[in-house]
Structure 1
């Protein structure tokens, strides 16, 4: 084993008598280096994009959310509240009411979702940190905070007491009696806009936040009726265990969803894109490793006389095969390690100095993660060893066996 490794090192680091073989070996090493570098940088870029995309959901979506299994309403009693407070691992929870509403502001209209929240909402979600103008909800019932997209669509000016925002929702009822009079068909309230938030384009166009009591009054809901419960858990908490306890408290009337389940489509899309990019760049690496195969085969052809000499002095065919196997493996390891090091340095420089910008104020997001380093190392290792083994089998043909 040591004999084969020693000869492999000599063949790898000593110039061949043929200049063409030296060039092919250098090209193969550069191909491994470049392929490893590209794979790590791309995976780091997608990790950064994934974290950047999910940061919006982290601001808006809770760790856990309790939703009605049927219909839109949960009956939330004091007994259930007491039981929830006994669950370990819950840092806080908030009651919310959510319903589709019609907005009217200075003859401009838009359909959005009203989200009524209680005073605990800021302990569970970070949406108030996304405020770009004005203030978050105060104790007054007739205040709302709108998304940046809604404010632009309706040309809303915060704290404009001369022009209030009208919020309308159809009254519950059956038949066509209520439709004979538009005013009697809708519950309507006028509110002052006190703030504007900005999370992402979808959410900015979707939600209007109000106090819980205001939403309950507008929708004519009872004091124990809510649309959902949102929970913030402690970092060390067992999410699955908390979910089971919540399901036990509410029975079959609710379903408990994690943040990932609330954004299942987004998670699937990001993971699919990440897998697709990995497979594409793995294919590039496979193509680059063809150069390794070609380089080893050329060395075998160049060293035919040496191979026969080694065989005549007692080297076995397997030990000779191992020489070229180790040569290819060493080439792969050296090129892969250098590619990983340069890739980590490149990503780190982007994190520190923001060389690549998406907009003048937004650097391209990247992230250095141990899982990406492990994936790249395993990929280049498995593919490099396989290519080296395939090429090394040609050594037996040089012996005529």
Structure 2
């Protein structure tokens, strides 16, 4: 029975009097624009979170175990303790951070050098997918050669450096006799690759090099800052970091990829539902237009409704017919709205690559990879259909209350 009612509803909807006449096209256009705005806004918000998450995981690992003490220890023993506590560990690599100044052709810039174990870093970090020019291979570095280095694209552009160029960095080292004084140590590196690290501040001041070369430059012997960790699932990193902080205890500080940008991730999680409901107002207004269109359609269809009731359709059947019409219009709006929303996402990608829509100084990202999540799509579909269904109840109930004799008399 419901299939027959759906067929009647569809036939009445696509007639010239309904879908292609009066205010119906404008109502449908408003619905399409509302859905498209929802798709595009949710894709940008989800893309911001996804882009930042992958940048953090690729460059700083899923988690970091940072030593609170500067005294050297057996890192192999530390790795074994971590593996025993977290069997999902995929790989680990020692790292060291030092702050320095880069000087090249009369230009200077404050930088952060991250030294990593080149034999293990490939299991933990993902620089290969971020190479813009050159390569991400640092394994050929040795004490007898000029150490190789990778650099963020912003820093390379600012210092006018290209792959193969050599540059010098200056590191302040505390005096062994008087800690209040500093000695200047100068090191030379050769640029092996230029990377898009995903975050604006990293692109502007981040350099990656071999661990031994960085330790030698900073004159710290075999000491290191901690371990970079990678697990089977990036979303499990927070739970893993929490577990490791209890197992390793106070000598170590464990943080996951989210910790260093907690404020940004929290802002996204708070703003996403807010933006969803604000933009949903567009769909809500469009649904009221659909309701008014169907209400006019009820008045125009007095004779048809009277005939349908005369041949045996009940009041509930008439209500179902007009409810189906509202859902059909919602479905059409969703279909074309998702297509338009996808086009808007493509235009956003094009515009941000050509016009620089995303200010890295403000949003910490140079670009956003828009991401249409399945969960967001389901929420848009449910919200739109629910609003359209509720909006059709008033005209549907009016059509159901029509007296067949009155309908035929008016005709």
Q: TM-score, normalised by structure 2?
A: 0.73
1:159 and 1:228 map into 2 onto residues whose CA distance is 30
1:84 and 1:276 map into 2 onto residues whose CA distance is 40
How many Å apart are 1:14 and its aligned residue?
Answer: 4.2
1:133 and 1:248 map into 2 onto residues whose CA distance is 42
Alignment length (residue pairs): 384
- Name the Cα RMSD after superposition: 4.4
* Counterpart residue number, 2:13: 12
* Counterpart residue number, 1:192: 189
Larger deviation, residues 389-398 vs 96-105: 389-398
1:12/1:117 CA distance change after superposition, 3 Å: same
1:364 and 1:85 map into 2 onto residues whose CA distance is 35
2:14/2:20 contact within 8 Å kept: no
1:211 and 1:334 map into 2 onto residues whose CA distance is 57
Which of 137, 144, 147 pairs up with 2:152?
A: 147
For residues 86-130 of structure 1, give each alpha carbon's deviation from its aligned partner in whole angstroms, at most 9, with x where no partner exists.
442222100111132233345532211121212222331122552
1:390 and 1:76 map into 2 onto residues whose CA distance is 74
1:25/1:90 CA distance change after superposition, 3 Å: same
Q: TM-score, normalised by structure 1?
A: 0.75
2:320 and 2:388 map into 1 onto residues whose CA distance is 14
2:318 and 2:70 map into 1 onto residues whose CA distance is 74
1:374/1:74 CA distance change after superposition, 3 Å: farther
1:172 and 1:390 map into 2 onto residues whose CA distance is 82
**Secondary structure of 1:376's aligned partner:** helix
1:237/1:396 CA distance change after superposition, 3 Å: closer
How many Å apart are 1:252 and its aligned residue?
Answer: 3.0
Give ranges in structure 2 of 5+ residues lacking alignment: 357-366, 407-411
**Secondary structure of 1:23's aligned partner:** coil
1:287/1:241 CA distance change after superposition, 3 Å: closer
* Counterpart residue number, 1:252: 250
How many Å apart are 1:62 and its aligned residue?
Answer: 0.9
* Counterpart residue number, 2:123: 123
* Counterpart residue number, 1:208: 207
> Structure 2 matches for 1:1-400, cutoff 5 A?
2=2, 8-16=9-17, 22-40=21-39, 43-44=42-43, 47=46, 51-52=50-51, 54-68=53-67, 77-86=75-84, 87-119=86-118, 120-127=120-127, 130=131, 132-133=133-134, 136-137=137-138, 138-141=140-143, 143-145=147-149, 146-156=151-161, 165-171=168-174, 185-200=182-197, 201-221=200-220, 223=222, 225-234=223-232, 239=237, 242-268=240-266, 275=273, 278-304=276-302, 317-337=315-335, 339-340=337-338, 342-343=339-340, 356=350, 358-359=352-353, 366-367=370-371, 369-395=373-399
1:75/1:226 contact within 8 Å kept: no
1:90/1:233 contact within 8 Å kept: yes
1:391/1:75 CA distance change after superposition, 3 Å: farther
2:93/2:117 contact within 8 Å kept: yes
